A and B are shown apart, each in its own frame.
Chain A
């Protein structure tokens, strides 16, 4: 895929996400002008860049959406809920198309048809022209003036627009378009006088369409001028000034993106969007490459087509036509030069366009550079660098190796002093080791920080989801998100989405009652679902809290018994809390009916498995009639695991630290046999004792003396909610390791999570106890 398209895909996804979020905000508060502006800007920017690619249907839909939000922000169209629905639908479709572009670089064949329907639906939101009453001619004129007004760049160059926007901080400058009626002089109107009264006038131009006509043909009393001005004043103030001629004047607040996004045709090239400039430069380079005679014509035609397309899409129709005609008119052997010069003429010279030149370098940092001076109200985007994850992973692997290499230094120090009798030298090595160890730790911390992402990245997908689901189910739900800034490792964040999705779906489908039901129960009709995240020591805790009907432990118990998940004894003795936990058991769904939203009895146990796989824990708390809280507790990072080493004879194994409950030495006499199985008493509980060597099928010979000692070393672990004692030969030390999964022919072997390198070069096998206990 070419770089430009790749960049577009990334940017498009961001813009779509932003637009969707703003649309949802608008749905809650339709008067939020800032949100309207943001939606418009996102859609506008997206439309602008989409024009560079072979994606006409996509551009068409975006264009229709852009028109709507333009009208909304000019108050010529009132925002209605169904418009938000439609716009969201359109954005979803655009998202699908972006996926297609990323995969195939072209849209699916059905796209034009879909685009037509969508664009048609969008345009149908505008009042039909023939439905307009005669009284509304003012509004009609205003609508007619709108396309002219939208084109601030036609009348003012980028520098002027930027200066005006700066002067207008933080509100943004307004473009005033005064299109006087021909007969206005007879009504005593003086457009020029009014325009000069504009408070905080920043720039002013007059467009005399009849200027080409000879003086003799001029009718001095027929006004044939159009006046445009930029003002930094409050739009309300401007409206007051023009209150007597509202039908001839359009006042439009200019957004931050406008100055560069709608370039002036007068200063062609100077105001071309950065993306277009980059594209044009690319064509120049392409033309400069030596090409075989027979391919040259094709290459020139291709470049000319790209340039013409690019220009058309940023409104430079004239320039596009000029280039096409110029190339066609040039003699065949001069075409390459003609085209190259024409493009070079369009691309702005570097000096006066410092901003734009900067902006040709891809990346979000440049977006900030472009947007920040124009609209101070918008928080500057953080300066970021896009890096492929593989590169960070490679760095992480290298650091892992560094840690291992570093860990061999203490061995070396010991050898120096013990084997060679160089004590001082050994101590010196130890000192050096301390320094290297510290740097390695910091290095690891720094790279881990690179991999950290805010949980909000996952959370932000939920407002839309909850809204759609709630609507589908006929429920009213408020989603509250807290702690979105909490950070965790990228891998952890990524494993989070599916479990959360299941949980939120479950909440909405099974937990939340219908509004009628809720009112009958004395609750507010609108339910609240909270998604919260926070740090708990070195873990991150995420909760999904709803105030729905809660889980009935009796019902769960019964169902679990019916399905054979628990036996009769358990049914009789199980506590309510334990019963609630049964929702995580496989094959249990309490909903009366199976809907397409959730509930085929696969949901919650899938959630549990996914969370546990990521090294997390899940718990649930519920009060019947009050609501349910599901809590996920995940490690901050999956890259580094804490393990404890245990010895079985000569061999070392690792056990994940988070499973370990305690390490105890049990006198051999205290181990009792119950029906052939061993157990011991720990804190007044009977704990089954399992021989780890036996579990791993290790040959008896390897476990020397274990049977002879009068104490047994027991690692007490809790696996799948059961406490088990593992008999081992000796305890080793706890350490942080970078786990590598078993690969190649070893990949199929059960019982091990992965391997880690020890400081002395040995490989540590880390046990998957859950798997072993099965």
Chain B
């Protein structure tokens, strides 16, 4: 299992493949309000799409430096703009 759950946090571990997108989405719809991707080494586009759409705060730094460098800022920005009620469409 690469998608875990710890309270209201979804945990992304190791390789998050295309199939995991559905599970990730399920958790987020079932009350999870945070994502921790510290253990993530590969994130499939489909999972990223879910994360972008959910716009929840992201925690941790993924093990894969490429993910941390290029996606970190995007997801942080997405989460930040998501906080106010009147959030404008995601601008990255």
Question: Chain A residues near B3 (CB, 8 Å)?
Answer: none
Could you say which of A185, A191, A225 contacts B52, with CB atoms under 8 Å apart?
A: A225
Which size class do B's interface residues fall under? 20 to 34
Flag if A193 contacts B50 (CB, 8 Å): no
Min distance, Cβ B49 to any Cβ of chain A, angstroms: 6
Give B56's nearest chain A residue, CB to CB.
A215
Flag if A196 contacts B70 (CB, 8 Å): yes
Flag if B25 contacts A206 (CB, 8 Å): no
Question: Chain A residues near B5 (CB, 8 Å)?
Answer: none
Flag if B49 contacts A225 (CB, 8 Å): yes
Could you say which of B22, B66, B67, B92 contacts A205, with CB atoms under 8 Å apart?
A: B92
Give A192's nearest chain B residue, CB to CB.
B45
Distance in angstroms between the alpha carbons of A191 and B44 in the assembled complex: 8
Q: Is the interface of A mostly helix, strand, loop or mixed?
A: mixed
Flag if B49 contacts A223 (CB, 8 Å): yes
Question: Chain B residues near A204 (CB, 8 Å)?
Answer: 70, 74
Judge whether B43 is part of the interface by a CB distance below 8 angstroms: yes
Distance in angstroms between the alpha carbons of A148 and B78 in the assembled complex: 22
Give B28's nearest chain A residue, CB to CB.
A215
Q: Is the interface of B mostly helix, strand, loop or mixed?
A: helix
Question: Chain A residues near B78 (CB, 8 Å)?
Answer: 211
Distance in angstroms between the alpha carbons of A215 and B71 in the assembled complex: 20
Question: Chain B residues near A446 (CB, 8 Å)?
Answer: none
Question: Chain A residues near B85 (CB, 8 Å)?
Answer: none
Give A196's nearest chain B residue, CB to CB.
B66
Flag if A215 contacts B45 (CB, 8 Å): no
Question: Chain B residues near A191 (CB, 8 Å)?
Answer: 45
Within A194-212, the residues touching B (CB, 8 Å) are 196, 201, 204-208, 210-212
Question: Chain B residues near A193 (CB, 8 Å)?
Answer: 42, 44-45
Distance in angstroms between the alpha carbons of A111 and B73 in the assembled complex: 50
Q: Provide the B45-79 mask, 1 if CB < 8 A to any CB of A, else 0.
A: 11011101111000000000011001100100010
Give A218's nearest chain B residue, CB to CB.
B53
Of A180, A220, A221, A266, the most chain B CB neighbours within 10 A belong to: A220
Give B78's nearest chain A residue, CB to CB.
A211
Could you say which of B21, B45, B55, B66 contacts A225, with CB atoms under 8 Å apart?
A: B45
Which size class do A's interface residues fall under? 20 to 34
Question: Chain B residues near A537 (CB, 8 Å)?
Answer: none
Distance in angstroms between the alpha carbons of A201 and B66 in the assembled complex: 10
Q: Provide the A531-562 mask, 1 if CB < 8 A to any CB of B, else 0.
A: 00000000000000000000000000000000
Question: Chain B residues near A218 (CB, 8 Å)?
Answer: 25, 49-50, 53
Could you say which of A201, A211, A221 contacts B89, with CB atoms under 8 Å apart?
A: A211
Distance in angstroms between the alpha carbons of A191 and B45 in the assembled complex: 6
Flag if A220 contacts B21 (CB, 8 Å): yes
Judge whether A213 is part of the interface by a CB distance below 8 angstroms: yes
Q: Provide the A221-264 mask, 1 if CB < 8 A to any CB of B, else 0.
A: 10111000000000000000000000000000000000000000
Question: Chain B residues near A220 (CB, 8 Å)?
Answer: 21-22, 24-25, 46, 49-50
Question: Chain B residues near A720 (CB, 8 Å)?
Answer: none
Judge whether A92 is part of the interface by a CB distance below 8 angstroms: no
Question: Chain B residues near A208 (CB, 8 Å)?
Answer: 49, 52-53, 90
Given A207-B92, A218-B25, A220-B25, are A190 and B54 neighbors across the interface (CB < 8 Å)? no
Given A185-B18, A201-B70, A220-B25, are A266 and B45 neighbors across the interface (CB < 8 Å)? no
Pairs A–B under 8 Å by Cβ, sample size 30: A185-B46, A190-B18, A190-B44, A192-B43, A192-B44, A193-B42, A193-B45, A196-B66, A196-B67, A196-B70, A204-B70, A204-B74, A205-B92, A206-B74, A207-B92, A208-B49, A208-B53, A208-B90, A210-B53, A211-B53, A211-B89, A212-B90, A215-B28, A215-B53, A216-B29, A218-B53, A220-B50, A221-B21, A223-B45, A224-B49
Q: Which 3 A-B pairs have the closest CB atoms?
A: A220-B21, A192-B45, A211-B90
Apart from the given pairs A192-B43, A206-B52, A215-B50, 17 other A-B contacts in the complex at a CB distance below 8 Å: A185-B18, A192-B44, A192-B48, A196-B66, A196-B67, A196-B70, A201-B70, A208-B49, A211-B89, A212-B89, A215-B29, A218-B50, A220-B50, A221-B18, A223-B46, A225-B45, A266-B91
State the B residues within 8 Å of A (CB). Answer: 18, 21-22, 24-25, 28-29, 42-46, 48-50, 52-55, 66-67, 70-71, 74, 78, 89-92
